[in-house]
Amino acid sequence: MAKQLGPTFSDEIIAAGLGGLPFAWGSTDDDITGRDALTDTQNTTLDGVIAAHDPTKPYVPPPPPENVALFNHENRLRSMEGVPPLTLGDFLTKMKAGTL
């Protein structure tokens, strides 16, 4: 039975080191074309990505570059002060609430 591929699949492909390789996909794993151009190791990695993929996971767009710069700056300051770093989610929540 075919497995649905959701909106985060492309990010998972890139994270697995398969980005830019000559294969494509549609809405299910049955729609993947170009596997013959991949090595055995790459196909095994792709199978692992498909097995671990949650098609219901929503896509979360990355924060704007200026927020990433502020996040990095905040964590640099925190490290100099001996305070644990914030996660990006915590940083964005605090920034939105004005509690930084």
Domain presence at residue 58: no
Domain presence at residue 81: yes
Split into its structural domains, the chain has a count of: 2
Q: Residue 17 is which amino acid?
A: G
Domain presence at residue 75: yes
**What pLDDT, on the 0 to 100 scale, is given for residue 79?**
94
Domain that holds residue 32: 9-52
Average pLDDT over residues 44-61: 93
Categorize the per-residue pLDDT at 17 as very low, low, confident or very high, splitting at 50, 70 and 90.
very high
In a 3-state reduction of DSSP, which class is residue 24? strand
Residues 37 and 14 in one domain: yes
DSSP-assigned beta bridge partners for residue 33: 24
Domain presence at residue 77: yes
Phi-psi region of 26 (alpha: psi -120 to 50; beta: other; left: phi over 0): beta
**What pLDDT, on the 0 to 100 scale, is given for residue 83?**
93
Average pLDDT over residues 88-95: 86
